[in-house]
Amino acid sequence: MNPSTARLLISCPDQRGIVAAVANFIAQYDGNILDADQHTDRDHAEFFMRVEIDAEGFLLNAANFAGAWQPLADKFRMRWYVHWAHDTRRMAILVSRMSHCLNDLLWRWKHGELRVELVAVISNHPDLRETVESFGVPYEHLPVTSATKDDQERAVRALLERTGADFVVLARYMQILSPTFVADYRNRLINIHHSFLPAFAGARPYHQAHERGVKIIGATSHYVTDVLDDGPIIAQQTLPVDHRDGVDDLVRKGRDLERLVLAEAVRLHVEDRILVARNKTVVFQ
């Protein structure tokens, strides 16, 4: 992504003139639209739009954009957000013992595929310290038991606040976060899991799937809500399997999908391509 851009996300009741009004506003301040996409949810009469603006020569910036934009936003009853791409987002990762998603994110971050500042990896186990620190990333081990869960979560929160993390990726973090934590990071907690749910819930899902002879496996990444594994879906992928695949094959293929889907969800979030409406997302690819 070009760091000299601004990305404007809009949702509002659908009505005539929105696109023209947005384009005229940007032109009024010598802005140039680099990319624009829109969607109308006809079932709920709701309009969604993403606009990428060339910040070079644009007369508005982070300090004065809101004041100029707000009258137009009020007219169309917009919920809106603007992100200036030079303001690099700060990402933290929560992980337990499984390393496949973490390793993939570390590699993509190191090679510039994810334009974020990776501020910390936090785990309730010490196992992955050497891997993480080999990338030059701080690793924080915050163990947890049923008796210390509240204290451990407070320590996680304090660390996220100290590092200034803008959003958090749950890279197979096998702990349930409290409703307060989830509410404070609304639409900023990205999770990954297999796509069998609600079937084959609990431990050993691939063993359960193999016993039932499933013909397709998949992975789902979503924003975290109070309802476990039920938040707005960001990205999904599936893969056909058959009777030749053993449990180890299903696990291997499932982990491959989890890596790809989680990385895609993080990219979409960082590039401001997601708008949440109720418990669904509009994703502008």
Concatenated DSSP letters for 146-206? TTTHHHHHHHHHHHHHHHT-SEEEESS--SPPPHHHHHHTTT-EEEEEETTTTTT-SS-HH
Cα gap 137→193, rounded to integer Å: 24
Q: Where are the alpha helices (DSSP H) in the chain?
A: 18-28, 65-76, 100-110, 129-133, 149-163, 179-184, 205-212, 247-270
Instruction: Please name which of 205, 144, 151, 147 lies closest in space to residue 174, comparing C-alpha atoms.
Output: 144
Tokens of 140: 């924080």
Amino acid, single-letter form, for residue 169: V
Q: Is 231 helix (H, G, I), strand (E, B) or coil?
A: coil
The tokens describing 188, both together, are: 């900023």
- β-bridge mates for residue 168, sequence order: 92, 189
Query: Do 194 and 258 meet the contact criterion of CB atoms below 8 Å apart?
Result: yes
Dihedral, CA of residue 260, residue 271, residue 130 and residue 165, to nearest 10: -140
- Residue 49: what are its φ and ψ, rounded to 5°? -150, 145
Q: Catalytic residues, which ones?
A: 229
